[in-house]
Structure 1
Amino acid sequence: MAILQLEDSSVYTHLSDITRKLAALNIQVKRLPLGSNSYIGELLAQDILSLAEKEEILAGFDRYFVQFQRRFGYKWRELTVLHPGSPYLWALITQFDRCHTHADEEALYILSGECVFGFVLPDGRQAELIVEAEEFINVPSGTEHWFRPTGLLHFKAVRYFTSVGGWTPQYTDTKIHFHKPVARRYPGDCP
């Protein structure tokens, strides 16, 4: 379940409310069922996947890729796997946790785990959105945003691309002043 928090501490958990609050940025957030393939479910539960297993997961969601190719013009996709032992974890965090834009839209389909997108709203306020399994997000090109994993440091997501280099961050000078992390309880948290 996606959770949107605004700077004024307002929290929205219904997809229709989230969509309405982000409408000025043309951000799309949708629920897309994973299905009931138990083998894919087992693969998604693993931290480390072989290239063949990644391809099997991608093939398991080709029905969405075909739809997205027609609708958004995506040319290819890849599976991103992040967990606390990922060798590129900190590089990813430091590359995308600053305000930036992209030449292409940023589109992710979260298969497991969760991540956070932050946005600069048209009036200059900021917001953060937790996106989790079975949710697709499309951030239009030129939208000022940031990205980071949640405290779980775990997610698997299909990233969709329309061009080579389109996801290269173009950093802006905007400082992130949203210091109210979305409240979420993690296993092991104290009550």
Structure 2
Amino acid sequence: MTLLTSWPESGPGSVIRRTADPVEIAAVLAPLGVRYEQWPVRADVPDDAGSETVFAAYGPEIDRLTAEEGFTTVDVLGLHPGDDPEYPVRAKAARVKFLQEHTHDDDDEVRFFVSGSGVFYLHVNGEVHAVHCEKGDLLGVPRGTRHWFDMGTRPSFTAIRFFHEEDGWVATFTGSAIASRFPDHDTIAAARERDRGAA
């Protein structure tokens, strides 16, 4: 499911590591304070399922994580092509916002992918780690970590979001253009599909 690619922060000219092994991914991310888990995939949950269906399907996992981490707010965010005439505008605006490097001063960024995919880019200790998350993957980015997120040019995902603070998603943007120097979601997702085809 997950694919981790790491480069020097100077650019993607050389690859430090590239792995789809969950054990190796966890071992790389844990020293960075990044929480990485894989939850059971509920095959009976539609890709575009609403909040009620998602909460019912993943209730035990949500309750466990909330108790462990003391989250006060949990919600479901979905963005899918379809009959919504506002989708192109909403998708473009969301991508532009999340694609800028930022930090969260008062909260972690914790997401579980119910469906679809997205790439979290973690800019830590002179390296950029691209974590391509898919259905069943949970990633927790610690507060204060420089990062950005790409959902692709045609986003299609549903994610559970966990917050310690009631304010929800509040970012401090670094002003860096670093995100423009690294492969985007679509490039990484296409490489992931080629890997699957070759397996």
Q: Normalising by structure 2, what TM-score? A: 0.79
Query: What is the number of residues matched between the two proteins?
Result: 175
> What residue in structure 2 maps to residue 35 of structure 1?
42
Q: 1:118 to 1:82 in 2, by over 3 A?
A: same
2:33 to 11, 26, 35: 26
Q: Does 1:153 align with 2:141?
A: no
**Letter of the aligned partner of 2:136 in structure 1?**
E
Q: 1:149 to 1:20 in 2, by over 3 A?
A: same
C-alpha distance after superposition, 1:100-138 (max 9, x if no partner): 01120011110111100001121x221211001011111
What is the SS of the residue equivalent to 2:178?
coil
Report percent identity of matched pairs: 25
C-alpha distance after superposition, 1:143-177 (max 9, x if no partner): 11000114552111111111122421111133316
> What residue in structure 1 maps to residue 174 of structure 2?
172
Runs of 5+ in structure 2 lacking a partner? 8-13, 195-199
8 A contact 1:105–1:167 mirrored in 2: no
2:108 to 105, 112, 127: 105
> What residue in structure 2 maps to residue 189 of structure 1?
none
8 A contact 1:96–1:169 mirrored in 2: no
Give the whole-Å Cα distance in 2 for the aligned partners of 1:56 and 1:173. Answer: 38
8 A contact 1:4–1:129 mirrored in 2: yes
Structure that is richer in helix per residue: 2
CA RMSD of aligned residues (A): 2.0
1:70 to 67, 87, 112: 67
Runs of 5+ in structure 1 lacking a partner? 187-191
**Letter of the aligned partner of 2:118 in structure 1?**
C
**Letter of the aligned partner of 1:22 in structure 2?**
L
Give the whole-Å Cα distance in 1 for the aligned partners of 2:112 and 2:42. Answer: 14
